[in-house]
Chains A and B, each alone.
Chain A
Amino acid sequence: MHLMQSKNRAAILGYGAYVPYYRLPTTEIARVWKGGGSGPNIEKAVAGVDEDTVTMAIEAARQAVKMSGVESLGAVFVGTESKPYAVKPTSTIVAQALGQHHTLAADLEFACKAGTEAMQVITGLVGSGMIEAGLAIGMDTAQGRPGDDLEYTAASGGAAYVLGKMGKKAVAMIDCSTSFVSDTGDFWRRAHQRYPRHLSRFTGEPAYFYHIENSVNTLFKETGHKPSDFRYAVFHQPNPRFPVEVATRLGFTMEQIKTGLLNPLIGNTYAGSSPIGLAAVLDEAKPGDKILLASFGSGAGSDAFCIEVLDGITRTKGTNTTVRSMMERSTKIDYSTYSKFRDKLGK
Chain B
Amino acid sequence: MSIQYWRIRDRYYRLIGSRCAECGAEFFPPLYRCRKCGSESIKDKEMPRTGKIMTYTHLHEPLPGFEAQAPLYLAVVKLDNGAKVLTQIVDSPDEAVKTGARVRATIRRALVDGDSGQIVYGFKFVVVN
Contact = CB atoms under 8 A, between A and B. Distances in A.
Contacts of B93: 331
Nearest to A330: B91
Contacts of B90: 48, 50
Interface string B1-30: 000000001100110000000000000000
A49 B107 contact: no
B14 A50 contact: no
Contacts of B91: 20-21, 48
B121 A93 contact: yes
Contacts of A329: 129
Given A93-B121, A331-B93, A50 B9 contact: no
Nearest to B70: A49
Query: Which range holds the interface residue count of chain B?
Result: 10 to 19
Nearest to A84: B119
B12 to A, nearest CB: 9
Contacts of B9: 96
Interface string A80-100: 000011000000010011010
A340 B71 CA distance: 13
Contacts of A111: none
A49 B121 contact: no
A59 interface: yes
Interface residues of A, number: 20
B10 A96 contact: yes
Interface in B101-129: 106-110, 119, 121, 124, 129
B63 interface: no
Interface string A5-33: 00000000000000011000000000000
B107 A59 contact: yes
A343 to B, nearest CB: 8
Contacts of B14: 97, 99
Interface string B22-55: 0000000000000000000000000000000000
A331 B9 CA distance: 31
B109 A51 contact: yes
Given A55-B107, A59-B106, A59-B107, A50 B10 contact: no
Contacts of A51: 108-109
A19 B107 CA distance: 14
Contact of A97 (B68, B107, B110, B124): B107
Nearest to B92: A21
Nearest to B49: A62
Nearest to B13: A97
B119 A50 contact: no
Interface of B: 9-10, 13-14, 68-69, 90-91, 93, 106-110, 119, 121, 124, 129
Given A49-B69, A50-B109, A97-B107, 4 more contacts: A50-B69, A54-B119, A55-B109, A59-B107
Interface of A: 20-21, 48-52, 54-55, 58-59, 84-85, 93, 96-97, 99, 329, 331, 340
